[in-house]
Amino acid sequence: MSQSPLNLRQLPSSPPESVRPWIGIHYLCSGKYIRVYRSADGMQYHARCPQCSRCTVFRVGKGGSSARQFEVSCR
């Protein structure tokens, strides 16, 4: 019994720049979960509630929260 090895290519150690970091936002008011990508300047995440269109800005800060998921309630 011999299985051929998986044809894996070597992955680069760092992701390409086209992959933008994101965070998950759970809107309690609408009960929806969205994914928010980092803004063009790389300093903020602009989240928008799918229910009431209210915007929430998350700042990217060094030494800040390393959490990738947040809960937001617009009310």
Q: What residues make contact with Zn ion under the rule CB under 5 A?
A: 29, 49, 51-52, 54, 74
What is the DSSP code (8-state) at residue 12? P
Shortest distance (Å) from residue 45 CB to Zn ion: 16
Residue showing tokens 């309690």: 28
Based on CB atoms, which residue is closest to Zn ion, 62 or 75?
75
CB of 10 to Zn ion, least distance (A): 44
SS3 for 44? Answer: strand
Tell the smallest beta-carbon distance from residue 47 to Zn ion (Å). Answer: 10
Q: Are 19 and 4 in contact (CB under 8 A)?
A: no
